[in-house]
Amino acid sequence: MTEKNADIAKLSFEDGMTELESLVNRLEARDIGLEESLAAFERGYALQVYLAEKLKATEMRIEKITAAQTSTRAIASKPSVQSAEVVTDDDGLPF
């Protein structure tokens, strides 16, 4: 990230998305000059990279949380092995 885009790291995900949407709208409107368009594109690209990294970090946290809960549930639901008395009928055959 360049020095002029260093402030991006301080943005929340939602604020970054809002700014990126605004930049895209300005670029799509085509009412800004070439230099301003290039600056908007550069800023938008930096925002996109930052937001993608934030999403990836969030996905990894979710996977870690769900993996921990899944393994905890698997251990908790594992049946305990106990010796059982076999019930038989009068002939000694199990029911």
0.75 cut: is pTM over it?
no
Between CA 94 and CA 86 the distance in angstroms is 7
Confidence (pLDDT) at 1: 58
Between CA 34 and CA 25 the distance in angstroms is 15
Q: Give per-10-residue mean pLDDT for the chain (95 aa).
A: 81 96 94 94 96 96 87 65 62 60
Confidence (pLDDT) at 81: 55
Helix/strand/coil for 68: helix
Rg (C-alpha) for the chain, rounded Å, is: 29
Confidence (pLDDT) at 82: 60
